[in-house]
Chains A and B, each alone.
Chain A
């Protein structure tokens, strides 16, 4: 059953990452060339 736990943890980490990068994009939204 450890593979299920691994998948669940991976999904949790991905959700956490997407939430954080959404916040951080507001802090520094773009570089203009």
Chain B
């Protein structure tokens, strides 16, 4: 009999970060929306989500996991992807390796290719003088090229969708933060090609993403230092996704 595995990929929201106040631990991952959804679907969760991940990193972690572990003879895999903020960048920087594993001690499998990249978002200023000198230039690029970054996010979605389809592996995707401006002239060409039957609320904008939806509904996690949700929004979102999956069948 094949082993039923749910592969959960994403950023901190998919890792359940700060549910109990800690950045990463087994309790948080077990209570993340992805793990709760895996339980409902009858799969054993393997949570490879990483705090601060970018969408390129999320897509690559899925490909790398399949490359290293997937065996269609012995596994029945279901993939749960929580896409993150589309503006995040991963810059190739193997001359100054990063260590994201130590900040994610409870991750079920770590994609070590991430160590060759520097991650940049809008609010981060860098850890050392070299990073602090580099980061503002990238942030300027990000600010002046929002459409381009959303377009790249859409290509990551398509990459993973077509990859999983090629293996006949079922999946569900959702947005945990801002991904697209739905009616953007350029991005809409790609959004038309995305399989919406396997992507919850993909075209509904930021307010329907996991983090912003429950934040706007008034949920507040007093234990969190970095604005992540507690158990209840994760539980409710797992129910939403489960219902959506049922409606598509």
Which residues from chain A sit less than 8 Å from chain B, CB to CB?
17, 20-21, 24-25, 27-33
Distance in Å: Cβ of B116 to nearest Cβ of chain A: 15
Q: Cβ of B139 and Cβ of A31 under 8 Å apart?
A: no
- Given contacts A27-B178, A31-B52, A33-B100, whether A21 and B122 have CB atoms under 8 Å apart is yes
Which residues from chain B sit less than 8 Å from chain A, CB to CB?
12, 23, 51-52, 85, 87-88, 98-100, 103, 119-124, 127, 139-140, 142-144, 146, 177-178, 206, 226-227
Q: Cβ of A27 and Cβ of B85 under 8 Å apart?
A: yes
- Given contacts A24-B122, A27-B85, A27-B178, whether A32 and B51 have CB atoms under 8 Å apart is yes
Which residues of the other chain, A, contact B119 by a CB distance below 8 angstroms? 31
Known: A27-B85, A32-B12. 5 other contacts (CB 8 A): A21-B122, A29-B121, A33-B98, A33-B99, A33-B103
Which residues of the other chain, B, contact A24 by a CB distance below 8 angstroms? 87, 122, 142-143, 146
Which residues of the other chain, A, contact B177 by a CB distance below 8 angstroms? 27-28
Distance in Å: Cβ of B28 to nearest Cβ of chain A: 14
* 17 A–B contacts, CB within 8 A, in A order: A17-B144, A21-B122, A24-B87, A24-B146, A25-B122, A27-B85, A27-B87, A28-B85, A29-B122, A29-B123, A30-B121, A30-B226, A31-B52, A31-B120, A31-B123, A32-B103, A33-B103
Which residues of the other chain, B, contact A32 by a CB distance below 8 angstroms? 12, 23, 51-52, 103, 226
Distance in Å: Cβ of A15 to nearest Cβ of chain B: 13
Q: Cβ of B123 and Cβ of A28 under 8 Å apart?
A: yes
Q: Cβ of A21 and Cβ of B139 under 8 Å apart?
A: yes
Distance in Å: Cβ of A26 to nearest Cβ of chain B: 8
Q: Cβ of A20 and Cβ of B143 under 8 Å apart?
A: yes
Which residues of the other chain, A, contact B124 by a CB distance below 8 angstroms? 30-31
User: CA separation between A30 and B121, bound complex, in Å?
Assistant: 7
